[in-house]
Amino acid sequence: MFSCRHITRLISDRLERSLSWFESLCLGVHLLGCGPCYRFRRAVGWLHRGLVLVGSDAALAPQARERIRLALEQAAREE
């Protein structure tokens, strides 16, 4: 199975591309047993929905997106 680091990357990737059936399966199984990754997925979803509501004119620079992703990963590991 995948590590939490790999799973958090899949969670982020899922916002921009479709995951393979194997990636989706591994993600789902991992989230069933990992509270921090589950919370990370919820936080990413909340952030993504908030940004979508603001509109397309508020797009983040790739560097800002990466900083946010890293901060969310760190927060998930600390819990």
Radius of gyration of the chain (CA): 13
- Is the four-CA dihedral 16, 73, 79, 28 of positive or negative sign? positive
User: By C-alpha distance, which of 48, 49, 26 is closest to 37?
Assistant: 26
Query: Is-above-0.85 flag for pTM?
Result: no
Specify the pLDDT at position 55: 59
Is a pLDDT exceeding 90 seen at residue 36?
yes
Residue 79 has pLDDT above 70, yes or no: no
For range 23-29, the mean pLDDT: 95
Q: Which of 10-14, 49-53, 67-71 has the lowest mean pLDDT?
A: 49-53
- Give the residue-averaged pLDDT of 49-65: 71
Averaged pLDDT for residues 12-19: 91
